[in-house]
Every structure is written in C-alpha cells, then in structure tokens.
Amino acid sequence: MRRWNGWGDEANDMPLPEHGQQFVAERIGAGQHLPDASLAQVLEQVPASRLVAHPLVVLDAEDRVRHARGQSLPDWLAVREGRFGVFPDGVAYPQSAEDIRALLAYAQEHDVIVIPYGGGTSVAGHINPDESAKPVLTVSLERMTQLTDLDTESQLATFGPGVNGPQVEAQLRAKGYTLGHFPQSWELSTLGGWVASRSSGQQSLRYGRIEQLFAGGTLETFAGPLEIPTIPASSAGPDLREVVLGSEGRFGIISEVKVRVTPLAEQENFYAVFLPSWQQALGAIRALTQAKVPLSMLRLSNAIETETQLALAGHPAEIGLLEKYLKLRGAGEGKCMLMFGLTGNRTQNAASYKQVKRLCKPYRGVFTGTILGRKWAEKRFRLPYLRETLWQAGYVVDTLETATDWCNVDSLLNKIETSLRDALKDEGERVHVFTHLSHVYGQGSSIYTSYVYRPGGDYATALARWKKLKYATSELIVRNRGTISHQHGVGADHAPYLPIEKGPLGIATLKALAKHFDPEQRLNPGKLLQD
Amino acid sequence: MRRWNGWGDEANDMPLPEHGQQFVAERIGAGQHLPDASLAQVLEQVPASRLVAHPLVVLDAEDRVRHARGQSLPDWLAVREGRFGVFPDGVAYPQSAEDIRALLAYAQEHDVIVIPYGGGTSVAGHINPDESAKPVLTVSLERMTQLTDLDTESQLATFGPGVNGPQVEAQLRAKGYTLGHFPQSWELSTLGGWVASRSSGQQSLRYGRIEQLFAGGTLETFAGPLEIPTIPASSAGPDLREVVLGSEGRFGIISEVKVRVTPLAEQENFYAVFLPSWQQALGAIRALTQAKVPLSMLRLSNAIETETQLALAGHPAEIGLLEKYLKLRGAGEGKCMLMFGLTGNRTQNAASYKQVKRLCKPYRGVFTGTILGRKWAEKRFRLPYLRETLWQAGYVVDTLETATDWCNVDSLLNKIETSLRDALKDEGERVHVFTHLSHVYGQGSSIYTSYVYRPGGDYATALARWKKLKYATSELIVRNRGTISHQHGVGADHAPYLPIEKGPLGIATLKALAKHFDPEQRLNPGKLLQD
C-alpha cells in the first residue's frame, strides 16, 4: 500500500545505520522529532465537494486526500502535520482519450478547474490545488498504463500516459527492450509526468533526456487534440513536441505517449573511481564528457557528499579498509567519488573502459571496480525513502538542483552550497550541505545539492527555515546563469523565478501558448506561469 | 564572384565526364538546351523602389536582383529565363543587433514587409518576395559574420548570424575547434539560416542537427528581443530555442547565435562498403544505427544511385576494375554503396570500425577502404554545381527529401520513386530517379531522392513538368507518414503540405506564435504558413 503521508510503499524503507545518525548529529546537532497527524484526523477536515456528479468523478474523501499533495518539502510538512489547506473537490480516473475529452467537456460545462495527475511525485508543487472559487477536479491517469503498440523495426513503443517506471520497464523487458529512463522517482513517477515536466533519468548519457525519448503522441486540450506524428527528425517548422514537453498541465492532458526504446544491452556495469580533489574530479568528468566517450552514466560527488555517502553506507569496517587503500593511492581527505556506467555490447564497453582509464590518468583517478557501483544500482531508487528515515530521526532533508555551462559550474556550486550552509546562521543553526553532478553535457552540467537541517520545535519553524533556504538560493541560481530546474520542473515553487530565466518576451510567449490551448485558463492555474 | 543566376562561385564547376552525359542520354533522351537571359536584361526590368530612404537600405538594382531568389527549381528557371516577377524594393546590410532593431522600427513606421536573408540558398522559396501592396525590404545578414566569443571550457562559440560555412570553420579551426555542421549548401548557407530552417549536416550522426548545436542567442522581433540564455539542459518549461528553430523568418530576425563546438578530431576517415542488394543494405544501415555505434556519418545509396554515381565518377577503367572485384565478392548488379565516417580518437575509431565489420557481416558487406570516401569528402560541397553542368547539357535536376520511421522507409521510398518516375509518362517523357538515405536515427531515416528530366522546348514546359513532379510527390509524402522536409525547411513551396503534417491545432499554434511575435504580420509573409 502506498503511503498516504510520505514516499513510496509502506513495505519499503531505507534504514540509516547507527553510525550514520551519529554522523548527522555531529554536524548539525541532535534530531528534533515532530508529531505526525493520522489519516483519520486529515479525513475529518475534507470539506463537501463542490463538483456536480459525473460517472468518471469520484468524490470520496480519501481519494481527495491522496491526490492533494506532491512530494515537495512544503507538501511533506503539510501532510505530516495534517494541515492540507486545500483539497481537490474530486478525482477522476479516465481509462481512455475519450474519457479525458469527456472530462474536459464536463469541466467547461460546469466551470471547473482541472489538474492533471501522474504519479504525484512532483517536488515543486505541480499538482496542488489552490484556493479557488471554482471547484477543482484532479484527473489521475493511473488507469492508463498499457503498452498498446511496440514497433520493433522503428523501436517505438506506445503507452498510456499514466504508466509508471516499473510498469514501463516490465512491459518492455518482456519483449527485450528498455526505455532507459530512470529518474530517482522512477518507482512512482509516470511517463506522462516525465514528458509534462521534462524529466531526466540517471542514464540520460546513453538514452537521452525525455525530450530525446518522446517521439510523439496526443495532448488533449480545450482547443482540441494536438496530435503529434512520429517522425525521426524534421525541418518542417518549429517542433510541436517541444510545446508538450514542459507544459506541466497548463496546455492540456497527455492521453498517449510514443517513445523511442532500445534493445536490452548485452552488458551493464557501474564503476567507482576516486579523484584526489574536487578540481581534479571536475577536470576528469569534463574530459570524459567532452571526448564523447559512449558511457551510460557519469555521476560525481563532491568531497562532502563522498564523505557523507561513505558514512551512511553502513559496513564501517569495509569502508575503513577502502579509505585506507584510497589514501595509499593518493586519494585521502578531500577525495571525490566519480561513478560511471558502461551499457552496451562487450566490444564497445571494453573500448570505452580503456578510454576512461586513459582520460582519468592525468587527474590521478583511483579505480575501485564495480562493488560500489553495484551497491548504488541496487539502491538507486531507495534514496527518496531516506527522507522518512531522517524525519523519524528528527531531521529534514531536501534538494535543490540546476544546470549551467562548464565555465560556471564550480562557481555556481560554491555559491549554492554557501547560500544553504549560511541560511540559518542567524538562528544559530547549522545545515549539512553536499552536492553531486549527475547529468553532464559537452556544454555544462547539472548541479544537485542536498541539504539536511533541523525542523526546530514546530512545523511553522520547519517551514520558515525551508523558505529561508529555498528562496534565497533559488534567486541566486537564476541570477547566476543557472536554470531554475534541470530535472524537477517549475510547478508552483519555481514559478516566481522563471521570468528571470525566460525573459519578459519568453514568459509572454508561454502565456500566449497557454491562452491559445486553454482560453478560459482552467488547466493547472498558477503552475509554470504565476498567472 | 558569386554567380547571379546559379550556384556558387563563377570560378567553380563540377564537370560531367563524357561517359556521364551519355549515361543520362541513354536513360531519358538527348538534352534540350534553353537560352539564358543576361544580367543586363534582368536589370532593365527592375522597377523603381517604393521604399523611403534609410541609411541602412540600399536601393541599387543589382543588389535587388541578387537577393530576389533562392535556389529552388522554380527560382532557377525564373532566373535563367530572366523572368523574376517580383524584386525586393531594397536590401539592407545591418552590422549589429542595433541595426536590425533600427530596421524593424523603420519597417513598422513605413509599413514595410521584411524578409530576412542568410545565404540565399533556400530550395523551398524562403526568401522570395511576393506581389504586395506594401514595399518589401530584404535584410541580408552577410556583414554579421564574426566569431565574437569562444568559451573553450563550455565549448560554446558566439557568432553573427550571417556567417557562412567556410567562415564558421575557418574561424573555429584557427583555435582548434569545429562546429561539424556540413550541409551540402555549406559553401554559401549561413548559421542564422541553418537555425531558422532547422538544417542538418552530413555528419549529424556525430555532431547533431542544428537543433542540437544551437545553444542560445537572440531573436529580434516586433514584440522585442527574445534572448535565450545558454543552459546545457533544463526542465524549466517549454524550450524557447525550439521556437527560434524552424521559425523561417516569420517570428523575427536572428541577431546572434551561440553554438556548441567540438575540438578537432584526432582522426577522420570515410569508408565505402558495398551490399549485394537494397534489402541487405537497409538491414545493415539500420543495424549500425540502432546499435548506437559512434560513427560520424552513414549514407546509403540505392542501386540506381550507386550505378549513377559510379557512372558519373569519371575514371571508367578504375571503376570497371572495382565493379569486377565487387562482383567477385558477391556484390554485382543491384549492389548498394554504404558510406560511413569515423571521426574521433584512434582507440574509439578502431573499436567502431570493428563493430561496423561485425554488424555488416550478416548482410554480406564488401569493404573497399577509404578511396571512394576520400573522393566523396573532396567533392562533398561540389554537388550543387552539377545543376549548372546538367543545365548546360540540356537537363534539369532537382531533389525531394523527407524522413520517416524505419518501418515505413522502404515503402515510402518506393512510392516516391515511382511517383517521380511516372509523373511525365503522359508526355512520353522519362525521368531518371535515384535515392539515398543520409541521415539516420534509431527511429527512422531521411530519404533523399534526386530526379533528372528534360525541360522540353521552353521554360513554361520545364516549369509545368516540375510542378507535376513536385506537387503529386509532396502530397504523397505527407499522406504517407513522411515529413514535408527533413532538412530543407518549409518556405513557400512546402507550405501547402504542412497542415497535413502538423494537424489543424498544430497549424493554429504556429499561427498564434507568428501573431504573438509579429502582430502586424510584416515578417516573411506566406512562408512556413500560407497565411
């Protein structure tokens, strides 16, 4: 059963080794546990629905609670405290494009706001209803999960939009294929959501971002269906796929997605290399990327993240041995872990491995084989469960991410870390901050920063601290040539910063598109664009 | 000096070996030479300009003649006959973004139509003025050709929009870099034109299409400048780069382009492999592409193109020897030539070569080394000169291109070739038709078909024949899941077919964008969108 007030399935967790908890306490102080509300308490708050009955619309209170919030930190705090504020007036579960069109017609007829809902994994407030004079209908696509066509010659698969990561891969693997799209939210997030929010997976280096995987499909809009044919590449005017990608439910509801798939690879391994310093590590990852070595993943942790990961890994004896070995080979304090993936046929992988060795040599990389990589691969989708674990231990964890050109990566990363580390100084609070680069391009890299802080004595303090951390750092990112989001989208939380990135005419262009597809502005108001 | 009535520089040509001319004559009959008009005759027709004087605007007749037409077949016939019909009322040569903004203000003030002009190489009527009650100003960007910045860390270069292929490469090569964008029009076409028309180069397999190379820049519009920052990848809403790409002068004038560049490769070679049949060749090229072997080019000629190329190559004795050898190895009549490029470091290239060998084996590929590849590379930008040569010999040559999914490539290619081959049957005329695939993707391929026909006794017949050939086949392409253009853009000639590809809401979306950026519809009317 999926947790109503946290990440993932109740049967799963990500335990913190005792040493790990101590590690955090040493850095920012003892944990401060806040009391959780129960589902029963929340259900009592759900007001009567304002929606007119419709066969596809469910008005049940628990459905409305379970679709009211995503996974942003404010969502987390609201849900744990049991202060939801606003609930959708109902949830619809369409099973076809016709159902979606019927729901849009219903919304138009009865003056209803519509929020498309995929896996509910947004960390930027994409699916939260706002206070509104009009009733709000959340349209969950969870019943549209079928692989309806697989063209093996063109390597194209057609899916319903609500299919989640495991469902995508299970259906493709049965036929020898993979989509290769593995965001950290993969267990719950959906194909339609990935497209709507321009998602990027951990192996985008091989498979591409969702922009490269999305070949076509249909967006149901208030102006009619936008049907995008699958064409491998075209110079026939602006690419309309790009209007669907990143539309975040503002332009329409995706009813069908066609994606480019790949036959399962002969071989896949993840390796860990340690670089003696951050500057050497940066040099190595840039060299590997710009040499276009056909790798499937590159992920570089800075020194604090490397230290944190090794501390939280458990097995302190084994890790101690590893660190001794690394020190002997020149990677002691300040070392940075670089993980790389090789996916493909054996000939190609062997050639790529040789190149990685050669390109890392000037930066004094110490290779440690596949053990750490295997552990990473096993736990790659478990990290979101850590928020629950840390919460139980009395800590709050959140992340911030961006991307920028290589010439700006180091500078922006330092600014972000400093901004977060110092944000609660006035309260005498420390923040534990660490960073990795996990999506790299010839031109630049993503920057993904995690931060752990103490909630204080109550929920109001926890949220106030988050706002201090988030707002100043978001402003800093867009003022310093970073994107407000490399992989999480805009939603409500990032919308105030988008105008700096897109410029006045850019924002006006997106508004013109929203108006074009949704003249009465019923779709997901306040998300992506503030008005 | 650039030819005023044909392709390229007057000093260059592409002679046809005698055997080659005979080859064409055998297939479609003796050539029919039509008389050419002189520049003096054309200059006499240029009417008085309707433009109000402006320091940036030149009203000289020869400037107006030289910017009146592109390189489509109807353009060719109009220019050779000396019947231009419409000339722009003047040509402006801005040297900066400020100049461009001044020209837009001038156009607004004096109710002027504006046509942005790059290299004038459009084969789809992009830059032709239409009959209009308003004066028409062509804005040529040929004075904005500088490399103004090279960020070697982020591998980003900033150029003026009017820089042509040789100017791009010369400026980058001096610093050890390449853009790697080599369309056949490279000698004359410009970076701004590539972006505006979504161009694709011969080595897009390694470097990407212009969509992948274009990192940001500025579009000057009637609604203000659209400034797109360079960010390596982003999930912050729809990507506005994609609004500039393919905008074909309808939304604004590109004043600056930032592109992703690559250090010059250690090694580059092009190889020719012959496959015994088209079906085997198709199997091989698809296998190579879908295995993601890091090649820099794949180009497959069908049997008739292979035969035609070998016939037109000259050196009949050497070619005869080659054909004997190929026959001995199993590639006789019906053989197809597959060219592939390896660009990169030696280790990578060696590994890729090994993979090509392995993957071509089941299809019985016969490898012939780098001789033909070297010849191709030497002449790669000379092919457009062949139109002049064939014209002098009394023949008309044009090309048609599209892209479609792999499951449809063979079927659509056959339909296109049949449509062209039979188009003039009612007149008892034969058409020589041949095809290659030159841009391949996991999902599908481009299809590039050339056709040679006889002009008949006069220009009217030559044009009427072209219309028969072009119109029916264009309609067929979009009715059969092909794009109306993979690499030439829409312009005027393809605009009637775009609605079938984009759908009614898609076309309405592009119109909404045109209206948004250019409320009075002054920019390049009739191109991309018919109204």
Cα–Cα distance for residue pair B421/B472, rounded to 1 Å: 12
Of A480, A483, A475, A473, give the one whose Cα is nearest residue A453: A473
The tokens for B165 are 């292929």
- pLDDT band (50, 70, 90) for residue B20: confident
| Active-site residue identified among B271, B395, B448, B459 | B448
Among A155, A239, A439, select the one facing B246 at the smallest CB separation: A239
- Residue A464 burial by Cβ neighbours in a 10 Å radius (0-12, 13-18, 19+): middle
Distance from CA of B489 to the nearest CA of A (A): 5
The alpha carbon of A526 is separated from its chain's Cα centroid by a whole number of angstroms, namely 20
Is the CB of A405 less than 8 angstroms away from the CB of B154?
yes
Query: Rounded to whole angstroms, how far apart are CA atoms A88 and A95?
Result: 20
Helix (H) or strand (E) holding B262, with range, is strand B262-263
Give the phi and the psi of residue B111 in degrees, each rounded to 5: 55, 60
Q: Determine the pLDDT at residue A314.
A: 77
| Fold classified for A18-140 | 3.30.43
8 Å CB contact of A481 and B348: no
Q: In terms of Cα–Cα distance, which of A288, A306, A305 is closest to A297?
A: A288
Provide the chain B residues 163-192 that lie in CB contact (below 8 A) with chain A: none
Q: How far apart are CA B42 and CA B411, in angstroms?
A: 44
Query: What residues of B are in contact with residue A156 (Cβ under 8 Å)?
Result: 405, 443
Are A147-263 and A267-380 in the same CATH fold?
Answer: no
What is d(CA B122, CA B491) in angstroms, rounded to the nearest whole number?
A: 8
Please indicate whether, in this complex, the C-beta atoms of A246 and B232 are within 8 angstroms of each other. Answer: no
Per residue in B349-372, pLDDT tens? 999 999 999 999 999 999 999 999
Please report the number of interchain residue pairs, chain A to chain B, with beta-carbon separation below 8 angstroms.
291
Read off the pLDDT of each residue in A291-314 and give the average, rounded to a whole number: 94
Q: For position A248, what pLDDT does the model report? A: 98
Residue B120 in marked binding region? yes
As a whole number of Å, the CA-based R_g of chain A is 23
Residue B207: pLDDT above 90? yes
For testing the chain A interface, which of B443, B477, B500 should be mutated: the one with the most A CBs within 10 Å? Answer: B443
The answer to whether residue A312 scores a pLDDT higher than 80 is yes
Q: Would you list the DSSP string of B325-376?
A: HHHHTT--TT-EEEEEEEEE-HHHHHHHHHHHHHHHGGGT-EE-TTHHHHHH
The crossing angle, in degrees rounded to 10, of helices B406-422 and B278-290 is 140
Q: What is the mean pLDDT of chain A?
A: 97
Least confident of A166-175, A362-371, A374-383: A374-383
Q: What are phi and psi of B449, to 5 degrees?
A: -115, 130
Query: Tokens standing for B455?
Result: 């002009």
Instruction: Indicate the residue type of A461.
Output: T
B231 annotated binding-site participant: no
Would you say B119 is a known binding-site residue?
yes
Whole-angstrom distance, CA of residue B448 vs CA of residue B334: 19
Residue to substitute from A199, A343, A443, A530, interface B, most B β-carbons within 10 A: A443
Whether B415 and A243 have beta carbons less than 8 Å apart is answered as no
Task: Provide the pLDDT for residue A421.
Answer: 98
* Degrees, nearest 5: CA angle A511-A514-A518: 145
Q: Is the pLDDT of residue A240 over 90?
A: yes
pLDDT (0 to 100) of residue B458: 98
CATH number for B147-263 (one of 3.40.50.720, 2.40.30.170, 3.30.465.10, 3.40.50.1820): it is: 3.30.465.10
Which of A433-442, B122-131, B314-323 has the lowest average pLDDT? B314-323
> What percent of chain A is predicted at pLDDT more than 90?
95
CA distance to partner chain A, nearest, from residue B309 (Å): 26
Q: How far is A488 from chain B (nearest CA, A)?
A: 6
Averaged over A471-476, what is the pLDDT? Answer: 98
Report, as an integer, the average pLDDT of A10-38: 93
**Which run of H or of E encompasses A58?**
strand A57-58
User: Up-side HSE of residue B10: CA atoms within 13 Å toward CB?
Assistant: 5
Would you say residue B464 has pLDDT above 80?
yes
Indicate the residue of B240, B246, B262 with minimum beta-carbon distance to A235: B246
pLDDT the model gives residue A509: 98
User: Which of B156, B221, B350 has the CB atom closest to A443's CB atom?
Assistant: B156
Average pLDDT (A346-364) is 94
Q: Please tell me the CATH code under which domain B35-140 is placed.
A: 3.30.43.10
User: For the purposes of burial, counting CB atoms within 10 Å of the CB of A327, is it exposed (0-12), middle (13-18) or buried (19 or more)?
Assistant: middle
Q: How many CA atoms lie within 13 A of B392 on its CB side?
A: 10
* Probe site for chain A from B219, B234, B293, B477 (most A CB atoms < 10 A): B234
Q: Is the pLDDT of residue B314 over 80?
A: no
Residues 6+ apart with CB under 8 A from B323: B310
pLDDT over 80 (residue A196): yes
Q: H/E element holding A267?
A: strand A267-275
Whether residue B33 has pLDDT greater than 90: yes
Which 8-state DSSP code applies to residue A164? B
Residue B312: what pLDDT?
A: 85
Q: In which band, very low, low, confident or very high, does the pLDDT at A425 lie, cut at 50, 70 and 90? A: very high
Q: Which residues of B443-471 are buried (b: 16+ CB within 10 A; e: fewer)?
A: bbbbbbbbbbbbbbeebebbbebbebbbe
The answer as to CATH 3.30.70.3450 being correct for domain A267-380 is yes
Q: How far apart are CA B18 and CA B312, in angstroms?
A: 9
B294 CB within 8 Å of a chain A CB: yes
Token readout for B111 is: 């109710």
Of A198, A221, A501, the CB nearest to B229: A501
**pLDDT for the residue numbered A50:** 98
pLDDT above 70 covers a percentage of chain A that reads: 100
Residues 6+ apart with CB under 8 A from A312: A16, A17, A20, A23
Q: Domain residue spans in chain A?
A: 18-140, 147-263, 267-380
B267 is written with which tokens?
Answer: 């090694």
Q: Is the pLDDT of residue A475 over 90?
A: yes
Instruction: State the pLDDT at residue B347.
Output: 87
Whether chain B has a CB inside 8 Å of the CB on A530: the answer is no
Identify whether the C-beta of residue B446 lies closer than 8 Å to the C-beta of residue B361: no
Phi, psi of A388 (to 5 degrees): -60, -50
Listed in sequence order, the residues at least 6 apart from A295 whose beta carbon sits closer than 8 Å to its beta carbon are A205, A206, A288, A340, A341, A342, A352, A356
Q: What angle do CA B193, B242, A519 make, to 5 degrees?
A: 130
Query: Per residue in A109-129, pLDDT tens?
Result: 999 999 999 999 999 999 999
Per-residue pLDDT at A95: 98
- According to the model, what pLDDT value does residue B291 have? 94
User: Would you state the pLDDT for residue B18?
Assistant: 82
Question: Which residue is listed with tokens 């494009």?
Answer: A97
Residue A494 has pLDDT above 80, yes or no: yes
Confidence of residue B16 (pLDDT cuts 50, 70, 90): confident
CB A250 within 8 A of CB A529: yes
Residues of A taking part in catalysis: 448
Query: Does B446 touch chain A if contact means CB atoms closer than 8 Å?
Result: yes
- Give the number of other Cβ atoms within 10 Å of residue B344's Cβ: 24
Distance (Å, rounded) from C-alpha B327 to C-alpha A509? 60
For residue B531, name the pLDDT band (cuts at 50, 70, 90).
confident
* Mean pLDDT to the nearest integer, B504-516: 98
Residue A12 burial (10 A CB sphere; 0-12, 13-18, 19+): middle
Determine, for residues A236 and B485 on separate chains, whether the beta-carbon distance falls below 8 Å. yes
Residues 6+ apart with CB under 8 A from A268: A296, A341, A342, A343
Interface of A with B in 498-527 (CB under 8 A): 498, 501-506, 508-510, 512-513, 516-517
Does B36 have pLDDT greater than 80? yes
For the cut 80, the answer to whether the pLDDT of residue A507 exceeds it is yes
**In B160-295, beta strands by DSSP E:** 177-178, 214-221, 224-228, 253-260, 262-263, 267-275
Residue B12: CB atoms within 10 A of its CB come to 14
d(CA B471, CA B476) in angstroms, rounded, equals: 9
Contact (Cβ atoms closer than 8 angstroms) between residue B196 and residue B247: yes
pLDDT number for residue A427: 97
Q: Which of A3, A188, A6 is nearest to A80 (CA)?
A: A6
Burial, B23: exposed, middle or buried (Cβ in 10 Å; 0-12, 13-18, 19+)?
Answer: middle
Amino acid A384 reads P
Q: What gap in Å lies between CA B356 and CA B296, rounded to an integer?
A: 12
Query: Is A153:B410 a contact under the CB 8 Å cutoff?
Result: no
Q: What is the CA radius of gyration of chain B?
A: 23
Contact A490 B230 (CB under 8 A): no
